[in-house]
């Protein structure tokens, strides 16, 4: 990290950013083609979970290359300078990480992952039916590394 004074070293603070965020952007790559998608998500035990259609570009990319990168940010705000336009900055807290994506096939594991996702947004646990679960895919990212960064917040 170039600006080491902005680095968040406390793992609990990094996890708090993940838990506060509403959107996670996941970058996939196949060959020379990158593909980034903002998605709703859930987090538990160093893994991210996402739901989506049972076919599409995300799944195609995972089958070709399961290495992914993700980005999460919260509390972003433009801070305008009074003297020069070039002195503006941004206040933020963010996490960037890497991991391996997989597609969960077992309906019980998919149901559990759906509850992780919905609870992230404040829902109570729910008993999903097999029919509910079979009509969608669940992507799991096992996080291999992540770093946090902030600007405009106490160090």
CATH architecture, domain 4-148: Roll (2.30)
Q: pLDDT tens, 96-121?
A: 999 999 999 999 999 999 999 999 99
pLDDT above 70: percentage of residues in the chain? 90
Distance (Å, rounded) from C-alpha 121 to C-alpha 115? 10
Look at residue 83 and tell me whether its pLDDT is greater than 80: no
Look at residue 5 and tell me whether its pLDDT is greater than 60: yes
The residue ranges of every structural domain in the chain are 4-148
Q: Is 43 in contact with 144 (CB distance < 8 Å)?
A: no
Tokens of 148: 């946090």
Look at residue 84 and tell me whether its pLDDT is greater than 70: no
Give the per-residue pLDDT at 4: 66
Closest CA to 60 of 96, 87, 90, 33: 33
Give the per-residue pLDDT at 17: 96
- Please tell me the pTM assigned to this model: 0.90
């Amino acid at each position: 990290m170039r600006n080491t004074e902005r680095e968040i070293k406390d793992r609990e603070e990094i996890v708090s950013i993940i838990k506060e965020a509403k959107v996670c952007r996941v970058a996939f790559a196949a060959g020379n083609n990158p593909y980034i998608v903002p998605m709703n998500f859930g987090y538990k035990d160093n893994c991210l979970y996402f739901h989506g259609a049972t076919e599409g570009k995300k799944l195609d990319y995972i089958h070709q290359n399961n290495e992914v990168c993700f980005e999460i940010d919260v509390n972003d705000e433009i801070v305008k300078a009074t003297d020069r336009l070039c002195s503006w900055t941004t206040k933020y807290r963010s996490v960037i990480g890497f991991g391996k994506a997989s597609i969960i096939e077992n309906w019980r594991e998919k149901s559990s992952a759906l509850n992780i996702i919905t609870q992230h947004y404040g829902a109570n646990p729910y008993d999903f039916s097999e029919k509910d679960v079979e009509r969608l895919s669940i992507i799991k990212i096992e996080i291999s590394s992540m770093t946090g960064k902030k600007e405009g917040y106490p160090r």
